Amino acid sequence: MRQPDIEIYLKDAERDAVAQWLAEALGPCSDWQQKGQTFKCKAGKVPVTWLPKAVGKWHSLYLESDATPWADDLACARAAHAALGVQIRCAPGTWVEDESDEEADRWIKVDADGETEIVWRTE
């Protein structure tokens, strides 16, 4: 089942490199519009939000659409790592508001060593 949107976290990624990857994957990117700490653009028809240093050194990339080539966060994380060569983290499935704290801290790390389930306390 496709997720309604996608969010991944990227370590040490440059926003311009991410935009170039998104342009190749989704279509041309509009110019970034800064609103407070966040940056927004459209890649093809997909609204994109970039939040630098959302969690420590980790940048958040949020794709506000189900019309992407990726069915879920993990598929996007794999593609982002392959294209950008940086460590990516994502939730193992669709996030649910009332899930337990233990479940909320479960993440998948995608890097040169492959995919690993980790506990990542983001608060």
Report the alpha-carbon distance of residue 25 to residue 36 in Å, rounded: 27
Give yes or no for residue 21 having a pLDDT over 70.
yes
Residue with the larger pLDDT of the pair 77 and 96 = 77
Mean pLDDT value across residues 30-44: 96
How much is the average pLDDT of 72-76? 96
pLDDT band (50, 70, 90) for residue 2 = confident
pTM comes to 0.90
Q: So what's the pLDDT on residue 35? A: 93
User: Facing residues of 111 across strands?
Assistant: 114
- How many helices (H) does the chain have, and how many strands (E)? 3, 8
- The residue ranges of DSSP E strands in the chain, in sequence order, are 6-11, 33-35, 38-43, 46-55, 58-63, 88-90, 106-111, 114-119
